[in-house]
Structure 1
Amino acid sequence: MKWSWILIIFFASVGCQRDVEFPEGKTVKDEIPDPTPHELRIPQGFGDYYRNPDNPLTLEGISLGKKLFHDPILSDGNRQSCASCHNQSKGFSDPRRVSPGAAPGAIGKRNAMALINLAWRREFFWDGRSFSLEHQALDPVSNPIEMNLPWPQAIQKLKAHEEYPLLFERAFGVQDFDSTHVVKAIAQFEKTLISADSKYDKYLRGEATLTDQERLGLDLFNSERADCFHCHNGVTFTDNSFRNNGLQSTVRDSGLGGVNGNPRDVAKFKVVTLRNIGFTAPYMHDGRFQTLEQVINFYSDSVNQQSPNIDPVMLKSNRENGSLNLTDEEKEALIAFLNTLNDSSFVEDEKFSNPFE
């Protein structure tokens, strides 16, 4: 009789244990390990990166983000993924001038920006309309000229998938996930896209030697003669500002001014990094230049000083009617130096590659 009561009490306690509710719908039976914290390896000279206290990096979150980044499940008709317009072999940019969308006939308005060293940036898109990587990732999924899938439908597809519910629970400890968890995972993966092993990086570390031509290009880059360093400075090769570099005489795209409503910011666009510049053609916000030669020729000879809100750097006294009048030798040296910023290991790294291939 005594053992009968013990067994009754034991089974009753086990039954109660299964019914104990934990935060976010978990139970004792379903308890899974906490996500594994992860710290980025900060390259020499980069300084600390921007951290989002609401989205700490974890191995599980990064892995989930990589899968979501490459999976077309987040698009209308499963036609495209983030990687469709951000190709790893192209420095996570798009070799097309503008990108087609998932919906038939949809086409973008600007060149897809390269995704490089994003953990050290605060504003995103050419016009700076997003203030974090998480916020940035919200837009393309539902955007009708990009992935064209309303977020409720995207979440429904993910929840019906055989793998994603468990992956979200492992990454965030939630069973009822939503769009905020999706963009957090993608942002975590994007923060790992660090490029800092180019020939120039090896030169700075004493592991490589620049040729005479590359050295001349470096000297020109950092001089008033070529005048590149004012905007593309530091180890990230961008000051993260927004500027009008004299591309257009009339405003066809309002850029930053179209976002913040400030007329002084009309026609200003993000200064992009020059890292992996040899992989990321075409160039400029509208993808108008297909080669580095065209870019150098523009800055040397074709800056339109009448462009609205043109940056003061483009009006300096060393420019005669917008021209630097660089010699052919100087132009070739600049291009040689810029190509030392290409990081082949980054565009070939399996850590970032498509997990579905």
Structure 2
Amino acid sequence: MKHWNLYVLLFLILSCSNDNQEIYVQTPQPLNIPILFEENILAPVIPINNPQTAEGIALGKKLFFDPILSGDESQACADCHAPEQAFTDVRRFSEGIDGTLGKRNSMPLFNLAWNYDEKFFWDGSSFSLEHQAFIPVSDPTEMKNTWTVVEQKLQNHKEYPTLFTQAFGSSKIDSIAVTKAIAQFERTLISSNSKFDQYLLNKIELTAQELNGFNIFMDEARGDCFHCHGSDKNPLWTDNIFHNNGLDETFIDLGLGNITGDPSDNGKFKTPSLRNLAFTAPFMHDGRFTTIEAVIDHYSEGLKNSETIDPLMKKVDSGGIGLTPQDKADLKAFLLTLTDFEFINNSAFHNQ
């Protein structure tokens, strides 16, 4: 009898609904987690209130490439985060819609679901991937729009109300739904098929130079890179922590310190991943280095001391780790094995 009553109730609810209104059921689409990620690191961060669905991901991708989000409809997220550049910008500083330059280099976007502390941007000013997607729209140096305008344009669009209904069960469009969709798409941007990944899976061999470069990377007496950038046991190739890596003696940009207000955080910036360096130049938070060689030279003989220098910069007093020319060449050879051509050519990540 209880089951019969339940069926009657469901029938009445459905009968009273608008006959012209379609009911959409979202299709779960969990992330395709790579083997090396499963074996070596924790599960990805997926908010309970924003599960991955096929409809949400498709909507997020469309929004990511659509200039409708910008004030004059001339700029999309992809203009500063290009798929062929591992979702970063070849320019030192990205331009906003009116030509205004930002003050930092555009960070590449991949493996974001494994950012466990949920602090995004170079200075950690964003507290979730959804929030990270929220900021550029109203930033006067980027898209220079308002969310009220964006919501109205999307609501009046011929396609978006239906797409939002399919993705979230409601045709009412707001900034929360927009950023949820974009975050869903961004979480699918997984880079995991570099030459070094294939080596770890016993599919290929590395050259003697590449192997020596990896040994330098892991050697505290030589490269000493692994403390901040991980190892063969950390497929992210970043610790996702903030460090002062000896770029300056004094700071124009306070980085994390500008967010926390703590002077001990001045000059600290988020460690970027070493994946896909072949595509993501220029390097550092301000794009000051145009080549991998220049980055290696910085750590070899270009370190600068300051009050907040990271203790991991152990040889700052001597200017750096002092690599030989051969060591530098070998280290670069290893770093290039972290290049993932499949990632930048994945049609699922391009505007097609």
Equivalent in the alignment of 1:4: none
Question: Which amino acid counterpart does residue 339 of structure 1 have in structure 2?
Answer: L
Equivalent in the alignment of 1:11: none
Instruction: Give unmatched runs, 5+ long, in structure 2.
Output: 1-11
* Residues 264 and 308 in structure 2, CA contact (< 8 A), matched pair in contact too: yes
* Residues 303 and 316 in structure 2, CA contact (< 8 A), matched pair in contact too: no
Is 2:143 the partner of 1:161?
A: no
**CA shift for structure 1 position 296:** 0.3
* Residues 98 and 110 in structure 1, CA contact (< 8 A), matched pair in contact too: yes
Q: Using the alignment, how far apart are the partners of 1:165 and 1:221 within structure 2?
A: 51
* Residues 258 and 266 in structure 1, CA contact (< 8 A), matched pair in contact too: yes
* Equivalent residue pairs, number: 331
Deviations 1:9-56 (A, max 9, x none): xxxxxxx989946xxxxx453132211011111112323101100101
Is 2:215 the partner of 1:219?
A: yes
Equivalent in the alignment of 1:71: 66
Instruction: Give unmatched runs, 5+ long, in structure 1.
Output: 1-15, 22-26
Equivalent in the alignment of 1:110: 104
Is 2:171 the partner of 1:175?
A: yes
Equivalent in the alignment of 2:337: 340
**CA shift for structure 1 position 219:** 0.5
Structure 1: which 4+ aligned runs deviate by more than 6 Å? 16-19
**CA shift for structure 1 position 266:** 1.0
Q: Using the alignment, how far apart are the partners of 1:200 and 1:271 within structure 2?
A: 20
Equivalent in the alignment of 1:309: 308
Deviations 1:135-168 (A, max 9, x none): 1111000101001110000111111111111000
Distance 1:32 1:334, change over 3 A: same
Q: Using the alignment, how far apart are the partners of 1:162 and 1:107 within structure 2?
A: 33
Q: Using the alignment, how far apart are the partners of 1:215 and 1:261 within structure 2?
A: 42
Largest Rg, 1 or 2:
1
Deviations 1:273-328 (A, max 9, x none): 111111100000000000000000011000002x23110011x2x55522211000
**CA shift for structure 1 position 173:** 0.4
Question: Which amino acid counterpart does residue 311 of structure 1 have in structure 2?
Answer: D
**CA shift for structure 1 position 132:** 0.8
Partner SS state of residue 73, structure 1: helix
> For 1:295-306, what aligned pairs fall within 5 Å after superposition?
295-305=295-305
**What is the Cα-based RMSD across aligned positions, in Å?**
1.4
Question: Which amino acid counterpart does residue 290 of structure 2 have in structure 1?
Answer: Q
**CA shift for structure 1 position 76:** 1.3
**CA shift for structure 1 position 105:** 3.2
Equivalent in the alignment of 2:267: 267
Partner SS state of residue 188, structure 1: helix
* Residues 275 and 342 in structure 1, CA contact (< 8 A), matched pair in contact too: yes
Deviations 1:313-350 (A, max 9, x none): 11x2x555222110000000010000000000100100
Deviations 1:161-194 (A, max 9, x none): 1111100000000121200000000000000000
Is 2:120 the partner of 1:124?
A: yes
* Residues 17 and 28 in structure 1, CA contact (< 8 A), matched pair in contact too: no
Is 2:265 the partner of 1:246?
A: no
Q: Using the alignment, how far apart are the partners of 2:259 and 2:19 within structure 1?
A: 48
Q: Using the alignment, how far apart are the partners of 1:266 and 1:86 within structure 2?
A: 27
* Residues 140 and 146 in structure 1, CA contact (< 8 A), matched pair in contact too: yes
TM-score by length of 2: 0.91
Question: Which amino acid counterpart does residue 335 of structure 1 have in structure 2?
Answer: K
